[in-house]
Amino acid sequence: MLRGLYAKLRWLAKFSFAAENDNMIDVAPLDIPASTAGTTKAAAPVYRYLMQQPDHWMRQAFFVGRPKLPISRVVESIQANNRNVEETAQDWALPIAAVEEALDYYRRFHDVVEADAMDELALSEELARRDPPSP
């Protein structure tokens, strides 16, 4: 019964999203494996403003309509600048609900975001070793 309800909710979410964002294509639904959620049951919260990019090296969510903006950048700016949700939404030209979703995603899946940060740091260090700055 719940599986059928879940499928209907996902279908409705995709339909309403597509109606509002006809120019958006290649949006993958945000499915979260049970192991990431720290449970034995599948967890798949439905986010309206977040999406995954299956071909991107980062595993975290990105903002719909902003394919180069991972949620970590917005969350880091909140933390670094001591901003509230409304100020952050204005700074990044995002809906308040999108920033709230990013914070919820970070609270639930900070391990994914932190793993991406570690991968990014390792990549930066590797590139610095390969091409050291000239004196």
Query: Confidence band (pLDDT; 50, 70, 90) for 41?
Result: low
Residue 9 corresponds to which tokens in the numbers above?
Answer: 């909710």
The predicted model scores a pTM of: 0.64
- List the chain domain ranges: 2-130
As a whole number of angstroms, the distance between CA 49 and CA 65 comes to: 8
The alpha carbon of residue 22 and the mean position of all alpha carbons in its chain are separated, in whole angstroms, by 21
The Cβ-side half-sphere exposure at 51, using a 13 Å CA radius, reads 21
Mean pLDDT of 11-26: 43
Asked whether residue 65 carries a pLDDT value surpassing 80, the answer given is yes
The alpha carbon of residue 14 and the mean position of all alpha carbons in its chain are separated, in whole angstroms, by 17
Give buried/exposed letters for 81-98 (b at 16+ CB in 10 A, else e). Answer: eebebeebbeebebeeeb
